[in-house]
Amino acid sequence: MCDTCGCNVTHGNQHLIAAGGKLQKTGQGNEAVSVLKSLLSENDHAAAHNRQHFDSHGVLALNLMSSPGSGKTALLEATIDALGNRYRIAVVEGDLETENDAERIRRRGVQAVQITTGTACHLDAHMVHTALHQLNLDDIDILFIENVGNLVCPASFDLGQHRNITLLSVTEGDDKPSKYPVMFRAADLVALTKVDLLPVLDDFDPDRASGNLRALANAAPVLEMSARQPETLRAWLQWLDDEVQHHHTHCENGETLRPRIQPDGAHLHGLA
């Protein structure tokens, strides 16, 4: 939760602190911490509402998080090409500006809703809820939420997703799990992307990246893949198949899947 930079306040939740809003500040200005905590509480309430929507319609919602340029959109394009005839896929795209990524997805014949966050460096549950009004969940099996490129803030905001997928490009450095533990502790799966570049990037060691993840006490699968090499996507596609079935089983039993929440995030969300 970004108490310092103020990115808790987004166009999705700013109505809560506006004049007449549920969390309107008083004139004394000494309640900022309590307002920020309340914003996170309201976010979690909206996230739970989103997750109920997904479950009632049998939609598996997956949150993709990474730094900018790690290949999230390219992976989605390759995934749509591989699974588009098997599953009905839709995408919610988060970026500060432009609809560039959403347009790339739409060219694949898939629904894509762009969320333009402006100055906010993450998506929140309120933004996602608004985006859902533009989608017919009865026509979707898998909803991918491509979060804003950022290895910090997105990990602390529940969107209502069922699983978190963190991408780590081999161009970034195998020490990223150690340097950004909040993000990698929250991962249900880590995708090492752009592995086609490994022959020319001898300073990235996939085993070292996996070891740094394990040092965070996260046993999530680590899959090596390249959007340019379809044969490297087999384990990823199988994981998606398994998660779809897992989700359906939970829904039939009246249960829900929840993503990992890293320990600091659990404390912030009142779950510790």
**pLDDT tops 90 at residue 224:** yes
Q: What is the pLDDT averaged over residues 27-45?
A: 66
Residue 84: name the closest of 268, 266, 240 by CA.
240
Rounded-to-integer distance, Cα 189 and Cα 81, Å: 21
pLDDT tens by residue, 123-140: 999 999 999 999 999 999
pTM: 0.85
Look at residue 28 and give its three-state secondary structure: coil
Q: What is the pLDDT averaged over residues 168-179?
A: 97
Residue 217: name the closest of 260, 176, 271, 246 by CA.
260
% of the chain residues with pLDDT over 90? 73
The structural domains of the chain, ordered by start, are: 14-268 (3.40.50.300)
**pLDDT tops 70 at residue 207:** yes
Q: Angle between the 125-132 and 32-57 helix axes, to the nearest 10 degrees? A: 40
Question: Are the C-beta atoms of residues 128 and 157 closer than 8 Å to each other?
Answer: no
Edge-to-edge strand list for the sheet holding 111-116: 111-116, 89-95, 142-146, 60-65, 163-169, 189-193, 222-224
Q: What is the pLDDT averaged over residues 108-118?
A: 92
Rounded-to-integer distance, Cα 120 and Cα 10, Å: 6
Cβ atoms within 10 Å of 15's Cβ, excluding its own: 13
Rounded-to-integer distance, Cα 146 and Cα 86, Å: 21
**pLDDT tops 60 at residue 187:** yes
For 108-117, b where at least 16 C-beta lie within 10 A, e where not — what string?
bebbbbbbeb
For residue 79, give every residue at least 6 positions away whose Cβ sits within 8 Å of its Cβ, in sequence order, or none.
Answer: 89, 144, 233, 236, 237, 240
Q: Residue 4: what pLDDT?
A: 38
Rounded-to-integer distance, Cα 124 and Cα 106, Å: 23
